[in-house]
Structure 1
Amino acid sequence: MKKKLLYTLLSVILGIAAGCKKDFLDRQPLSQVAPSAAFRSEAELRLYTQSFYDRMLPNADNDDKGFSLYNEGIDNIIKNSLPVELTGNRTIPVSGGGWNWSELRNVIYFIQYHQRGGLDPSITNKYLAVAKFFRAYFYYNMVARFGDVPWYGEVIEPADSASLQKPRDPRTLVMDSVLADIDFAIANASTTKDNGADQITKWTALALKSRICLFEGTFRKYHTELNLPNANKFLEECVKASEELISKGGYTISKTGDQPYRDLFASYSANSNEVLLARQYSTALQIFHNVNYYTITPSYGKPGLEKKFVNSYLMKDGTRFTDKAGYATMQFSEETLNRDPRLAQTIRTPGYTRIGSTVKRFPDFGATVTGYQITKYVTGEVDDSFTKSYNPLIIFRYAEVLLNLAEAKAELGTLQQSDIDKTILLTRDRVGMPNLNMAAANANPDPYLANQYKNVTGSNKGVILEIRRERRIELVMENFRWNDLMRWKEGKLLEDQFKGMYFPGPGKYDLDGDAKDDIWIYTGTKPTDPGYHYLKLGTDIDLENGVNGGNVVINKNITKKFDETKDYLYPIPSGEILLNPKLTQNPYWK
């Protein structure tokens, strides 16, 4: 980890974005470095490609493309404000908005000139594989956001007006080019398993291909209005990449720790049995993120899981919680009893204690709007200060690949119980949950999920719904939900009223099951009895039916809107179209 970070810091100091020269004291101005003077040693190749990691991989906080490794919003995690994607108030920006190509130029520069040093391809190809991995990664994210985008295969010089004013290329051409890049990376990247989980390898490239192809295959399948061909081709490529990683990569699902799902994310070092790539942080280099502070203070929106999501967690015996009589009006200590253990390893449930502490803590409504207070990624109290967390944040892990394989095969109609036994079984077995039975799921699709995912049809409807359940639970807070809803064409789910815990009305409530009341929802004058967390109805907390109780409702006075005709893609900034009239705007954006 330190080696990677030091390389990155050096890359900034040396300004290698336009190329490297072996003799630092004889360095020419970067604008004048000739390609023939660059990449004359393996060290220069390594140093240049190392710069891609920090600049192009997602980080802890949202960037202008909405990437984040824990700061997820949408309908998994609810906050006290809504992003514009949910309110229908998105407008066409003048600039920015994710339409940023600067980092791509650095990658293409390397692809174009990496052989100018005359090194043997046995040396250069493994670094070219890294560059093509990052170009594929860049374009996958751009296509997911904008649809058709210009494909650039060579560095554009300032005087090349034709290339600077290039129109958008069809999505089909771009994604075929992405496949070619990622296939090259798979064939040429290092096959050595990276125990530090901070370098691109063949296995990381396979994981990226699995992710890309599942997205593109399902997007094309469900967005029939776009008439995009070859949906099955991409799903089949997802299957191939996933199966190769599973059979040859040597990765497993981690069962380390008393609470293995929680501990995978709270560990100060990436578990290389499951983690293929993580963004690293360091106390020695003073590089931190903010996840502890994010979950325990009101400063970051008071995040909490949404009610329908909590309802989707199965019972510990594998039966459906939403099949239980009276599930909708169960109070917290009852609704969290005997559920999938991942629920208690993702939020505070009765009996919760912080890592390194024996003090039992109930959900703090001062830090969560829904009452379902997040604990995923949260480490010990010593890291609670502002920007003091330094556990690695996972970008690619084995569990995602397992879920990708199961979903791709289900969508293709080729899924067998034996496939579930090597995918879903493993993610559930980590926490002692029963396996998914494909025949039973298809014979009796869950009506609660079917009411949400209305586009799922066919003989595999039941098992597809169950795979979506598993994916949402296993990958929550890892920045997948938006893309999942977009590719499934389920944006209308974002219009639903977001809710939290159920309370029958004002009164005192025990949230940790210790027979002692913890919070007091009151009306009128605030009580003076000590020992409670007070919440004034209508001010600190809103219930669906006011004094008659109901679920907590969040942002109740804000109307949410998702426009099915245009909101599955983002708009092209107006300033870019002024600069390049050959760019066309996405449909129905005005």
Structure 2
Amino acid sequence: MKRYKFIIILIGFVLALGACDVTDTVPEDAITDLNFWKKTDDLKLYANNFYTTLSSPSQWLDNTSDNCVTNSPDNRLFNNITVPGSGGGWAIGNWSNIRNVNYFLSHYQTVEGDEQEIAHYVGEIRFFRAHEYFNKVKTFGDVPWLDKDLTTTDEELLFNSRDPRKFVIDKVIEDLEFAALNLKLPQDVENGRLHKFAALQLLARVCLYEGTWMKYRNLGGWEAYLEIAATASKQIMDEGNYAIVKGNAPYMFDDYPLFYRQQFIQEDLTSNQECVLPRIYVKDKLMHGLSRQVNETGWGISKDFIESFVCVDGLPIALSPLYQGDDSLQLEMTNRDPRLRNMVDNKNLPYYLDGSRPISYPATTVAVNECPTGYMASKFRDPVPAQNEANQTTYDWYVFRYAEVLLIYAEAKAELGTISQTDLDLSINMLRERLDEPGVFEMGRLSLNPAEDPLALVDGQPRYGYAISPLLYEIRRERRIELAFEGFRWDDICRWNAGVLIENPKTMLGMVVNEDVVERYKNLFGGTDQFEGRSFYEFTDWDGADKKLLKVYANSSRTWDDKLYLNPLPTDQLSLNPNLTQNPGWN
């Protein structure tokens, strides 16, 4: 039974506050600066408004990446973005959250109450400012740092130039370090409310992003950021009492446990040790629609992503004797990392229930408007019928998940060159341990010196556009798989300076289609040829076999342009403020 002590978000209520002229009388039912900034509950009420900016359920989080193939070409990946005349993430409304957090920081000092309680809410607000600015840096690079409540008379600040991203990120780190120092522990706050370890996790995320962004662009000083990332993540590991959870699914097919997927359709995450911070949903009070929507997306998983899953011996498919090939989806999933059959629709993954009996689709649709690649993402699909009514999903959502902490730690240590086998056992191999099926297999663990994957080369060139060690390659693989469809992949591509990943044709292609596959689908779909009218990409694959892969686009080639790492500024803002300059490549 889900506990009902959770945060109710009040949107726009407090943020309508404005500066008041001096007056002798304030109406009793009016909320103004004169009667608001009095008690700690005022601070809490104000901070509540920013919780809507945190991660929330969505089926689109990895759409722009090499993991997914949308049924129409993605504008960014196909370089079809144009410079906007206005808006584009730089409009007045896009800066309102920063204005509002600064308004809080210039007004809270009149509140009377417990100093620790006040400091906690100041920590929340500085967390949200950091979160907002981190997103702006990822989007635009250099941005103006504003730390005061601006008015129309602040012309110098209003028409200032952009501050260097390093300066802004250092300010973000200051905010997060303050938040981590002043936010309470999880057990001392309401469920779903920010706490110390949530701040540390965002700090680790920011520093991993910026440290690798700098390293792979040959910018000096990257080591300091990765040191912070490693230290912050290790503090969570040591002090946070979190764990990788291996829970049993109530609905599954015999011999096909769902240790991984079950974590993402948990009705209540508030007591789940893998959840650092949940977004809480309650039936008939606050619900979402993700369980239904994940199978109505109009996109499919890419062949490239499917091939990234290792076999249960821990070896990549090009090296493992356990790999059975890809002549059918069932063969493709045999002996593979169980996360593959936990997140991709297949006959052993419950799709819905007949009473309490799990039912699956014998074959995934290949309709272009439903699943154009034949690989359907079902990581967030709950088979319980009530969860699949329109906007009636009630399972909680991870805002921060402990698995990310372990992945940050491993990657930061590997990038710094200080990683040990003990570090791997405390991080990557904890994720692998969850996948063990006692009496059947033990998932292969990662060692300091893994074999080099032949598929690290694409057409003879390094997959990432540059060479990395086999260990770092495997850590990146683990991150891609563990965090799939949670909204991390595009950020990873950007920070690694690895846009060339999307040039690989397999990032635009789907399943193998051969005579047996066509006949099987005919038999399952009443004799109708499901592939009639579809196009195929024919080639000789890495294993020497001639294959036809399902095409989604007429042209299965694209060329990366480095300008796409950042968004362009709208032209109206460049005209209004002559001190602003356009991002590289967008002039």
The answer for the alignment partner of 1:503 in structure 2 is 513
Q: Which segment drifts farther, 214-223 or 268-277? A: 268-277
How do residues 309-458 of structure 1 correspond to structure 2 at under 5 angstroms?
A: 309-323=305-319, 329-354=326-351, 356=353, 357-361=357-361, 362-366=363-367, 367-379=370-382, 380-432=384-436, 434-441=443-450, 444-451=451-458, 453-455=463-465, 457=467
What is the letter of the counterpart of residue 445 of structure 1?
Answer: E
Cα distance in 2 for residues equivalent to 1:121 and 1:69 = 42
Residue aligning to 2:474: 466
Identity %: 32
Q: Normalization by structure 1: what TM-score?
A: 0.86
Distance, in Å, in 2 between the alignment partners of 1:26 and 1:377 is 47
Contact 1:69/1:395 (CA < 8 Å) preserved in 2?
no
* Structure 1 residues 293 and 81: CA distance shift in structure 2, 3 A: farther
SS of equivalent residue, structure 1 residue 53 = helix
Deviation at 1:393, TM superposition (A): 2.2
Query: Any conservation in 2 of the 1:509–1:517 contact (CA below 8 Å)?
Result: yes
Amino acid at match of 2:482: E
Q: For the residues of structure 2 that align with 1:98 and 1:430, how far apart are their CA atoms?
A: 40
Does structure 2 conserve the Cα–Cα contact (< 8 Å) formed by 1:39 and 1:116? yes
Match of 1:261 in 2: 260
What residue identity is the alignment partner of 1:320?
P
Q: Scaled by the length of structure 2, what TM-score is found?
A: 0.86
Deviations 1:68-105 (A, max 9, x none): 77464421122202221111111111222222111111
Matches within 5 A, 1:187-586: 187-193=181-187, 198-224=192-218, 228-258=219-249, 259-270=258-269, 272-285=272-285, 287-297=286-296, 300-301=297-298, 303-323=299-319, 329-354=326-351, 356=353, 357-361=357-361, 362-366=363-367, 367-379=370-382, 380-432=384-436, 434-441=443-450, 444-451=451-458, 453-455=463-465, 457=467, 461-497=469-505, 498-505=508-515, 508-510=518-520, 517-518=523-524, 531-532=526-527, 534-537=529-532, 539=533, 541-545=534-538, 550-557=548-555, 560-564=558-562, 566-586=563-583
Query: Secondary structure, in 3 states, of the residue corresponding to 2:399?
Result: strand
Residue by residue, what CA displacement relative to the aligned partner does 1:128-158 show, whole Å, maximum 9, x if unpaired?
Answer: 0001111111111111111110001101012
Assess if the C-alpha contact under 8 Å between 2:435 and 2:443 holds in 1.
Answer: no
Aligned pair count reads 545
CA distance in 1, matches of 2:386, 2:278: 22
Task: Tell me, in whole angstroms, the C-alpha distance in 1 between the residues paired with 2:19 and 2:316.
Answer: 57
Q: Which amino acid aligns with 1:266?
A: I
Q: C-alpha displacement at 1:27, in angstroms?
A: 4.8
Q: How far did 1:188 drift? A: 0.3
Deviation track 1:420-450 (CA, whole Å, cap 9, x = no partner) reads: 0000111111111535333431xx3212134
- 2:125 aligned counterpart, secondary structure: helix
Q: In the alignment, residue 438 of structure 1 is paired with which amino acid?
A: S
C-alpha separation between the residues in 1 aligned to 2:416 and 2:401? 23
Task: Give the conservation status (yes or no) of the 8 Å contact 2:189–2:195.
Answer: no
CA distance in 1, matches of 2:408, 2:466: 17
- Which of residues 36, 39, 43 is equivalent to 1:38? 36
- 1:579 Cα offset (Å): 1.9
Paired residue type of 2:70: K
Give the C-alpha shift of residue 323 in structure 1: 2.6
- CA apart distance, 1:496: 2.8
| 1:68-87 alignment runs, 5 A limit | 70=61, 72-87=63-78
Question: Secondary structure of 2:71's partner?
Answer: coil
Q: Is the 8 A contact 1:261 1:431 kept in 2?
A: yes
The answer (yes or no) to whether the contact 2:83–2:586 under 8 Å persists in 1 is yes
Unaligned runs of 5+ in 2: 250-257, 437-441, 540-545
CA-to-aligned-CA distance 1:153-188 (integer Å, 9 cap, x gap): 101012221111121001111111111100000100
**Which residue is equivalent to 1:524?**
none
Which amino acid letter does the alignment assign opposite residue 279 of structure 2?
A: R
Distance in 1 between residues matched to 2:79 and 2:307, nearest whole Å: 27
Query: What does residue 525 of structure 1 align with?
Result: none
- What secondary structure does 1:405 align onto? helix
